[in-house]
Every structure is written in C-alpha cells, then in structure tokens.
DNA sequence: AGCATTGTTTCACA
DNA sequence: TTGTGAAACAATGC
C-alpha cells in the first residue's frame, strides 16, 4: 500500500500517541530494525515520550521530548501503523511501542520490508514531492537520459512517489513514461509538477494511492478512462507500468 | 509452479 | 566518476 499518501496517514496515526510515556519496545525483528541489535532501540526509547512527527516522502520520523532519541519509521511495501488503546494482538507486528496508559503503537507488516531505526539519516532523500518548488523540480527531474517514470520513482530526486502514483501522475500530465527525463521542456516540467501536486493531494484526501482515476484500469485488458484506448504495459524503471499510448504518446 | 508485488539498497556495467 | 538498470531482500497472493 504505502506511498506518500499512506505515509501521511501513518503520520496522523503516530500523532495520536504523542505525549505518552514509552514503557516497552518490541525490537526483536533484526531485519526490520537493522542494523540495531535487539534491545538497542528499546534501551534508547524506554522512559521517553513521543513529541513530534515528521514526514518527507515516504520516510517518517518522530522526535521525543526534551531532545531525546529520534525514531525513524518506513512502511516498506506493505506496512501500516496502528495505534490502539486496548492493543489488539496481531500477527505481523514487526515493531511496537507500549505506553504507560496501556496503548500500543505497532508497525504491522506482512512482508518485512518496513523499517524502524534510531537517528535516521535523510541526507540522500530528495524534497517531498508535494512540497518541492518549481525551480528545484525542474532541476531535479528534467535532466539525464533515464525514462521519466524512473526519475519520478527516484527518491533521491524527489521523494514520495511510488509505482501507482507515478502512473497516475504521468497519465494526468499526458506524458509518456518512456520520455527521457532530460528531454522535457520547461512548460512540460511545470505541467508535470502540477500533476504531481494534484494527484498527491487528491490521493491523500481520498485515502490512498489506489484512489487515482487510472488505477482501476491498471490491468491487462484495461482501457484509458479518458479515451477508451487499450492501455500499454511494460516494465519501466524496474516496475510494471501502464499508460495510454494515445493520450501519452512518445 | 511460477510470477508479480503500492519499496529500498546494493552491485555491475557502460 | 557518474548515471543507469538489474538483482537482492522477505513474504504473500494469484
């Protein structure tokens, strides 16, 4: 599930747990908590209270009160954040904080590609896709020979766009996912940025990246919801890509 | 059985 | 050196 809209939703979940004292931490999953050893995150967090949540793209982090340790979280391919008062015991809770009031914050993740880490480093993560300014967007996206879709998925360029959102954005902007990123005009880059913001905000409002207009048609035999042309399908940027060959030529 | 998957990182190669 | 693309990672569902 998780792209930028789901990460934003997860951030709101974490907000519900602010101010409560952490009394226990389940950090036993050494893959999700790598490179930390079991107990390391627990030792750092127990006794602290979560103070403030942040998000850049799909990356989440939480400050603790009085300048205490920072906890970084990532939902990976299938993660969710759940904050529950009477903690419902669940399978697939890969990481969890227990609070003094009996509540629990859990990273629920069937796959184990989610991540919990202390003092996360975002030096290599680009600006948030919904916040990036026009000039910086032109500079970071409109360069190189990589296909446009691959560039949108590159979290070092801008962060937050995943496979579904990328297809939705390119369809809205009427741009081919195969176009070399550096070949776009400034006008095309500006239009693309508008589509990024519009699709992202719409997805946050509606509840997820899967709510896009193109997404229900993203399957073999799918047709363009705008013109009815059968959608093209190929692997671009390492991911399965659907687009309308008529609306998005090139 | 085999392949695909809404993500990220690492490695190989031009 | 830089940029790009493929593979690895873990686990599940079709």
User: Which of A176, A168, A142, A161 shows the shortest CA–CA distance to A247?
Assistant: A176
Long-range Cβ contact pairs of A187-195 (< 8 A, separation 24 or more) = A189/A137, A189/A138, A189/A141, A189/A142, A190/A134, A190/A138, A192/A137, A192/A141, A192/A148, A193/A132, A193/A134, A193/A137, A193/A138, A193/A141, A195/A169, A195/A170
Least confident of A48-57, A77-86, A114-123, A177-186: A77-86
- The angle that helices A186-206 and A163-173 make with each other, rounded to 10 degrees, is 130
Q: Is A5 a catalytic residue?
A: no
**Chain segment A201-240, per-residue pLDDT in tens:** 999 999 999 999 999 999 999 999 999 999 999 999 999 9
Q: Is A131 a catalytic residue?
A: no
pLDDT at A22 over 90: yes
Q: Is A151 a catalytic residue?
A: no
Q: Is A142 (CB) below 7 Å from strand B?
A: no
With cut-offs at 50, 70 and 90, classify the pLDDT of residue A250.
confident
Report residues 36-75 of A contacting strand C, contact meaning Cβ closer than 7 Å: none
**CA(A145)–C1'(C11) in Å?**
34
Query: Which value, to the nearest 10 degrees, does the dihedral of the CA atoms of residues A227, A229, A235, A239 take?
Result: 40
Strands (E), chain A: 22-26, 50-56, 59-64, 71-74, 79-84, 93-99, 104-109, 115-118, 232-236, 239-243
Quote the tokens at residue A40.
């390391």
Q: What's the pLDDT at A91?
A: 80
**CA(A7)–C1'(C2) in Å?**
32
**CA(A146)–C1'(C3) in Å?**
9
Q: What's the pLDDT at A226?
A: 96
Q: Is A7 (CB) below 7 Å from strand C?
A: no
Q: Is A240 (CB) below 7 Å from strand C?
A: no
**Catalytic option among A2, A120, A147, A177:** A2
Nucleotides of chain C touched by protein CB (<7 A): 3-7, 9-13
Question: ∠A134-A140-A146 over CA atoms, to 5°?
Answer: 130
**CA(A78)–C1'(B5) in Å?**
10
The residue written with tokens 């446009």 in the block is A148
pLDDT at A143 over 70: yes
Q: What's the pLDDT at A185?
A: 96
**Catalytic option among A112, A143, A239, A246:** A239
With cut-offs at 50, 70 and 90, classify the pLDDT of residue A32.
very high
């Amino acid at each position: 599930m998780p792209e930028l809209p789901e990460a934003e939703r997860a951030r709101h979940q974490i907000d519900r747990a602010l101010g409560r004292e952490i009394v226990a931490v389940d950090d036993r999953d050494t893959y999700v908590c790598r490179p930390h050893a079991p107990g390391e995150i627990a030792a750092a967090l127990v006794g602290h209270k979560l103070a403030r949540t942040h998000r850049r793209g799909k990356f989440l982090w939480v400050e603790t009160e009085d300048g205490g340790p920072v906890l970084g979280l990532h939902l990976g391919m299938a993660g969710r954040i759940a904050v529950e008062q009477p903690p419902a015991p669940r399978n697939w809770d890969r990481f969890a904080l227990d609070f003094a009031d009996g509540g629990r914050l859990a990273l629920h993740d069937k796959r184990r590609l989610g991540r919990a880490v202390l003092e996360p480093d975002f030096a290599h993560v680009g600006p948030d896709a919904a916040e990036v300014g026009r000039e910086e967007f032109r500079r970071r996206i409109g360069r190189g020979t990589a296909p446009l879709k691959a560039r949108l998925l590159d979290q070092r360029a801008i962060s937050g766009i995943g496979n579904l959102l990328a297809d939705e954005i390119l369809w809205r902007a009427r741009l081919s996912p195969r176009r070399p990123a550096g070949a776009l005009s400034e006008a095309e880059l500006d239009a693309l940025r508008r589509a990024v913001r519009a699709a992202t905000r719409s997805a946050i409002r509606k509840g997820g990246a899967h709510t896009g207009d193109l997404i229900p048609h993203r399957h073999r035999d799918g047709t363009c919801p705008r013109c009815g042309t059968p959608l093209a399908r190929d692997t671009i940027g390492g991911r399965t890509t659907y687009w309308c060959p008529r609306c998005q030529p090139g």
